[in-house]
């Protein structure tokens, strides 16, 4: 204890390595090493021992970086900088390009956890097309379990955590990157990493435009550009993320394959490819586009989402006897949405709600529905709820107005819950 009644203890978790897993822990500070019964103090023996606790969360070391540019020319400099945790003094930087690999550049880490590495003109001059920077952290054990291990004739060979040799030089750039990541993720490896994508516009190149949104059961169109010297046609493959591309043509839901014609432009040539996502599962997908010999290509990922619907009502507040317009957008390739209007007290003067009114969705994915003045004139003051129902990927409404069950009466029932709407 210090003179001012304060104390400090530094806990170095590095010697524990992988024996101490990630997760939430509680630190106990106690005033004695035995409880009233003479037992050594532990979680179950704190009787009569003053103590205090503090929660702590242990996480895997992880490097985070930024690149000063995402697009460069061969011979340009590339700055990679960031921060890391875990107390390591060194990181390892790996560069994977379509026809070139830079293995294991040692990157020093400062006392404040920051790092910086510059790839100069001599290093980027051989890079081309889609490229990746992988920053490797030695993990909790402080050792690089996956490391550069060259031998005669195999300058790009690595050794994994199990002692197996992998010749990255025999693979394409993207395949080599995937093999390296697989080695880092293996159960015997304690290494951590972060991966960043950049593009090098070499003499010949292909690019995919960012894919902003993609919804289940819609026709998705992917576009891109290419160097005018690129081949007149390109191969395109779409598959669930994680499947090695380009692979073979797929015919199952969740895959699309085709060839596209490159259209010449004043500066760059353009291309586009459309595919139907009906029957596809939600999740992450990869688009691969390249020449038929696979020597020049690019790939991008996108997330396939459920179709959704939004709505706006005008005018608000509504004056009885005035038209009410309900409009919005509905994605997912649906033909119709269904509109329900429920009130606290009444609708149409009969104390019944509006039940599943089918409204068409246009080619531009918009819809409009107007509740006329002759209908709103019977509205009492109070709150009303507008529900716009989307049929989801199968195009079928699971909840619709239906007949009452046996022994019941009334015109306003829905299936499944079989609850009479007028009782709400």
Q: Residue ranges of the domains in the chain?
A: 23-58, 63-200, 207-305, 312-423
| Side-chain half-sphere exposure of 233, counting CA atoms within 13 A | 6
pLDDT in tens, 374-416: 888 877 777 788 889 988 767 788 788 777 777 777 666 776 5
Average pLDDT, the chain: 84
pLDDT at 419: 45
- Any bridge partners for residue 64, and if so which? 83
DSSP state of 127: -
CA distances from 398 to 77, 141, 390, 391 (A): 57, 54, 10, 7
Burial class (CB in 10 A: 0-12, 13-18, 19+), 30: middle
pLDDT at 1: 77
Query: 3-state class of 373 per DSSP?
Result: helix
Between CA 201 and CA 190 the distance in angstroms is 35
Q: Which helix (H) or strand (E) holds 183?
A: helix 173-185
What's the CATH architecture for 63-200?
Answer: Sandwich (2.60)
Between CA 38 and CA 201 the distance in angstroms is 73
| Helical residues (DSSP H) of 26-172, grouped into ranges | 121-124
* Tokens (6 digits) for 292: 């038929």
* 63-200 and 312-423: identical CATH topology: yes
Q: Which residues of the chain have pLDDT under 50?
A: 346-352, 417-424
pLDDT at 348: 41
Pairing label, strands 324-329, 192-200: unpaired
Between CA 101 and CA 95 the distance in angstroms is 6
Q: Which CATH homologous superfamily contains domain 207-305?
A: Immunoglobulins (2.60.40.10)
Q: Which long-range contacts (CB under 8 A, 24 or more apart) does 183-189 make?
A: 183/146, 183/158, 184/136, 184/146, 186/160, 186/161, 186/162, 188/145, 188/160, 188/161, 188/162, 189/139, 189/145, 189/146, 189/160, 189/161
- CA nearest 79: which of 118, 41, 131? 118
What is the third-level CATH fold of 312-423?
Immunoglobulin-like (2.60.40)
Question: What contacts 76, CB < 8 A, 6 or more positions away?
Answer: 69, 121, 124
Q: Which helix (H) or strand (E) holds 303?
A: strand 297-305
Between CA 177 and CA 185 the distance in angstroms is 12
Between CA 181 and CA 229 the distance in angstroms is 33
């Amino acid at each position: 204890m210090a003179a001012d009644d304060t104390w400090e203890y530094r806990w170095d978790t590095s010697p524990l390595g992988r024996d101490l897993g990630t997760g939430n822990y509680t630190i106990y500070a106690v005033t004695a090493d035995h409880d009233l019964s003479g037992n050594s103090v532990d979680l179950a023996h704190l009787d009569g021992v003053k103590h205090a606790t503090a929660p702590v969360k242990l996480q895997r070391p992880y490097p985070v970086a930024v690149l000063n540019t995402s697009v460069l020319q061969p011979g340009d400099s590339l700055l990679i900088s960031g921060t890391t945790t875990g107390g390591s003094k060194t990181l390892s930087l790996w560069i994977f390009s379509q026809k070139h690999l830079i293995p294991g550049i040692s990157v020093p880490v400062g006392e404040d956890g920051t790092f910086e590495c510059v790839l100069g003109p001599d290093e980027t001059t051989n890079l081309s097309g889609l490229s990746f920077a992988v920053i490797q952290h030695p993990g909790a054990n402080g050792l690089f379990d996956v490391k550069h291990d060259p031998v005669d004739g195999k300058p790009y060979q690595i050794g994994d955590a199990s002692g197996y040799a992998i010749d990255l030089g025999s693979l394409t750039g993207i395949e080599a990157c995937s093999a390296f990541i697989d080695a880092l993720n293996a159960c015997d490896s304690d290494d951590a990493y972060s991966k960043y994508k950049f593009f090098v516009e070499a003499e010949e190149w292909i690019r995919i435009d960012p894919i902003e949104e993609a919804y289940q059961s819609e026709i998705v169109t992917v576009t891109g550009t290419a160097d005018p010297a690129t081949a007149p046609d390109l191969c395109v493959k779409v598959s669930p993320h994680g499947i090695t591309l380009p692979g073979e043509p797929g015919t199952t839901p969740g895959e699309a394959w085709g060839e596209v014609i490159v259209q010449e432009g004043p500066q760059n040539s353009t291309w586009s490819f459309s595919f139907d996502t009906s029957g596809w599962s939600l999740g992450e997908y990869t688009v691969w586009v390249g020449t038929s010999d696979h020597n020049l290509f690019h790939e991008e990922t996108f997330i396939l989402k459920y179709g959704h619907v939004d709505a706006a009502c005008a005018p608000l507040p509504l004056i009885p006897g005035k038209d009410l317009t309900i409009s919005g957008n509905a994605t997912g390739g649906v033909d119709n949405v269904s509109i329900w209007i429920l009130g606290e007290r009444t609708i149409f003067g009969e104390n019944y709600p509006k039940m599943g009114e089918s409204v068409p969705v246009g080619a531009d994915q918009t819809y409009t529905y107007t509740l006329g003045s002759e209908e709103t004139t019977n509205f009492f003051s109070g709150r009303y709820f507008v529900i716009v129902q989307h049929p989801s990927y199968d195009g079928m409404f699971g909840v619709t107005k239906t007949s009452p069950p046996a022994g019941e009466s009334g015109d306003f029932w829905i299936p499944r819950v079989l609850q009479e709407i007028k009782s709400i």
